[in-house]
Each structure stands twice: as structure tokens, then as C-alpha cells.
Structure 1
Amino acid sequence: MDQPTEGKVLIDGKEVSSMNDRQLSDFRADEIGFIFQFYNLIPRLTAYENVALTRSIVKHAKDADEMLEAVGLMEHRDKFPSQLSGGEQQRISIARALAKNPKIILGDEPTGALDSETGVIVLKMLQNVCKEQHHTVILVTHNADIAKCADKVIRMKNGKILEITENEHPLPMEEVEW
């Protein structure tokens, strides 16, 4: 979303740092799924419509009902965001990001509004996207235990990388402390 102040940004062999606004917009639409901390759901659309919206963005989008089932919200498919709890809205946001079937998923505290049981379900879903579909999931979290579940951890402070570590034995999702 931002242009680098120096160097190049390469993603899957594409130099995104040299793309113009239209190319960047197309790249984000096709390749990246966003899970926002504050959901960014469209208030006038139902849960189903918020997820199904991905079909108008990408051709290879997953079925909205399948994604709602995956996050445990099929019974809320016809509800509007204002009729859902914060955790339910977060899961709709996750379903929408995954429905795009992106190569890269960027999550900003994707479990922040979830209880521990639902958080584990969501983290397992994201882990399965990595392991089974070979997609990249990048999470921002302040929960050190969630970071222990990752294959690679990049610690940052004030926009600078402090350290990068590989987890040879990631913590099982069920052992995350909330």
C-alpha cells in the first residue's frame, strides 16, 4: 500500500515497488487477502453478500456459503453486520479474505475479537491455508504465544526489524494462551 523509501519489493518474482497505481490495485485484488482488525464489512450487505462480494473481484473466488460454514456462521448468512457480535464480524472478515483464494493473506490481529475456542479454530484455518494450499499468511499480533505457532517470526519495533527467527517446533494452536 505504501511505496518503499529505498530498495525494491519483490513478491513471487514481481517487482511490486515499480508498479503504477492501477497495477498495484490489480495485484492486491488478485493476490492479497486482507483481514482487518476492525473488520471493514459493508454495513448494507448481509454476511453472505460481504463474502460473496469477492466473486466480483476475482474469478477464482471460493463459494461464500462454503466459507461461512468454515468459520461457523452459516446460520447468520442473512444478517447484517450490525446484527452480529464483534467476534462474528471478525469471522465474516476472515471468510471474505479467504474466499478470494489469495496467495498472500495479511491479518491485522485477526483473533483480537475472538474467544479462545474460536481463535484456535481461526488460527488452524489460517495454518491449513499455509500447509495445504501453500499460500503465505502474515499476521500482526501482540500475543507472543500466537507468534510461537508461526514457522517464522519477525519482531519489529518502530517500523524496524529487530530480529527474524525460524521456529523449528511451532507451538500447537491448542496451546495458545489467551
Structure 2
Amino acid sequence: MTFSFATSAALFLFFAAASCAPVHHSCADVRNSSLVLLRTVKSITAEIGPKEESNISSSLLWMEAKDGCDPSSLREKPAQCIEKILRVLVSYSVEMKELAGFQNCSEFAHKLKPVMEGLIKKMTTCLKSRTGMELHIKEEKPKPNDLWEKLVLCPYTMNRLFSFSVLTARVFAVGDPTRHGSTQNPPCSSG
């Protein structure tokens, strides 16, 4: 009797977990990591506080409407959006390495480094599961900044990284990006 109860309980737990598990586990891993990035950047931008931003130039890549991160494009061709998010994330990662050398941003950059590296790794796995290819991104060195730019570059970058992390968390909110707008298998709550 104990064996059958234990077996029944195990099967119940297995099916309950399976009903919430997204089809592409590699992309589901990105969901949690993107939320960690969002929370980390949000706390850093709150700590930095509002700063007046000057017109500074940056080598950061940008997300654009044509990148296919809207729900209908995600359902049809998610790889385009995931690839662009990955490229932009690597761009921010390179910028963080540069900011780690600035006195006013060193602590924040070091806090973000492991979060971003983990997300890059998981997103690379997600993209590979979607396309079967690995994306090799050449890291470009950021352009040198004048001394006055270094003072505003940290808040400038953090503000943009916060906006980017919101978009990334939204894209992966359902785990598998192809499930955006789907009424079947609604996403499970994160707890």
C-alpha cells in the first residue's frame, strides 16, 4: 500500500511539474536569469539615483522595432529577436568591463558581471536550441571616453540597461518566446 501511494504521489508531482514546464527548457532558463538581471539593474539604478545626462556617444547596440520582439514575430520567428537581444547583451557586457575601471561605477559593474555572463550563456543555449547554430559575436572595444564623460557614463549606461532588461524579461516572461499571446498552456506563476 505504501508503494502504491508513493508511486501515485510521485506521478502526480511529475505530471503537475510537466504541465508547467515549457517545451524549450534552454529558453525557460533565460526567463529566470533575465528577471535576475532586471532586479539587479533596478536596484543599482535606484542606488545611483537620477542623474542629468549630457549628450554623450556610446558604442552600445540598441533594440529597434524591426528586431522582431513583438508577440506575433516571437510566435513565428523568435530566433531573430533572441539573436538581437544576445548581441545587445554582449554589447552591454563589454561596456560593463570598461565601466569596472571607473571609480564611480566599479562596484556596480562587478555586481552585474556574473549576472550578465550567466544570462549570455543561457541565451546562447536558447538560441542554439532554436536555430541549431552557435552565434559568435565579436566583442568590440568601447571607444575611449573623455574624463567628463566617465562621470555620466555609468548612470547613462545603467538607465539604458534597465530599459533593455525590462524588454528582455518581457520577451522571456512566458519561458518559450513562441508562446507569446497563446491562450493554450498559460505560463505558470514564478512562485
Using the size of structure 1 for normalisation, the TM-score is: 0.30
Identify the structure with the greater helix proportion. Answer: 2
Using the size of structure 2 for normalisation, the TM-score is: 0.28
Structure with higher RCO (Cα < 8 A, 6+ apart): 2
